[in-house]
Structure 1
């Protein structure tokens, strides 16, 4: 019996892609749950929801772009511009997340007692979206990836 060694093609981008996908999944839950509130008579005009969505939309765009960039790297592309795009989108998503959180806090304060648990669940999903995004950023930093300053909006279209 002859044993063949297993060779694994280790792709250092796969763990990054994984946590970015987790962040995007959590963002999907935030989007779905907070958008549903527009379709419930008691919450259709909930204070903070419109303001939160003004930042949730670009936060989602930047997560999608970061995931797409990571997927391209996993698939073997190697251009430094892909890494720069991913890093910039992570920073942009973080910036938008701050305003999303502010809107969620306003929503929680203004929701009736009946809907506070729903808002708290959305906040838990937002926590997950932010923490996994931070994991991706920390992992990229440990790989030597540098990030643009988080204090100002970076290039990336109107968002």
Structure 2
């Protein structure tokens, strides 16, 4: 694997970690729709209206990073990766708000379960931030990172 492709491996790893955490958030919060005590839990439906696109953007960012790591390169792939990270971040804020509403509205016996969902969401966001920082380093967008393997015209980053 060429050196510039190896540099993308940590981005792929962090995005995969974020995706795994997101899988847990999706699975657990959707499960609440199938439990009689929580099937109409305030905040869950609204939270899902942001969780679904957040998941889509994570999947797309991950696929873009995989393509770059495996040797495919076009500036539009990096731009897709960057924009999808940003879009996932924006959706995550609304997911978090919905989870807070859910926690506050949940029967006391389900509050620990929702706290667990929130911890998974924390992980999903943390790993996404790690991927963002690593992408900034690889593309040369972070100050003080030295010479980027990508020419100035190929950088996607004034977006961050």
Could you tell me the TM-score, scaled by structure 2's length? 0.86
SS state of the match for residue 54, structure 1? helix
Matched, 1:44 2:55: no
- The corresponding residue for 1:3 is none
How far apart are the structure 2 equivalents of 1:124 and 1:147?
Answer: 31
- The corresponding residue for 1:126 is 121
- The corresponding residue for 1:13 is 8
* 5+ long unaligned stretches in structure 2: 142-156
How far apart are the structure 2 equivalents of 1:112 and 1:41?
Answer: 11
* 5+ long unaligned stretches in structure 1: 1-7, 150-159
**2:58 aligned residue (63, 67, 74):** 63
For residues 81-106 of structure 1, give each alpha carbon's deviation from its aligned partner in whole angstroms, at most 9, with x where no partner exists. Answer: 10000000000000000000000000
Task: Give the paired residue count.
Answer: 142
For residues 94-127 of structure 1, give each alpha carbon's deviation from its aligned partner in whole angstroms, at most 9, with x where no partner exists. Answer: 0000000000000000001100011000000000
Matched, 1:148 2:159: yes
How far apart are the structure 1 equivalents of 2:125 and 2:64?
Answer: 18
The structure whose residues are more often helix, as a share, is: 2
How far apart are the structure 1 equivalents of 2:86 and 2:73?
Answer: 21
Could you tell me the TM-score, scaled by structure 1's length? 0.86
Over aligned residues, Cα RMSD in angstroms? Answer: 1.2
How far apart are the structure 1 equivalents of 2:51 and 2:159?
Answer: 21
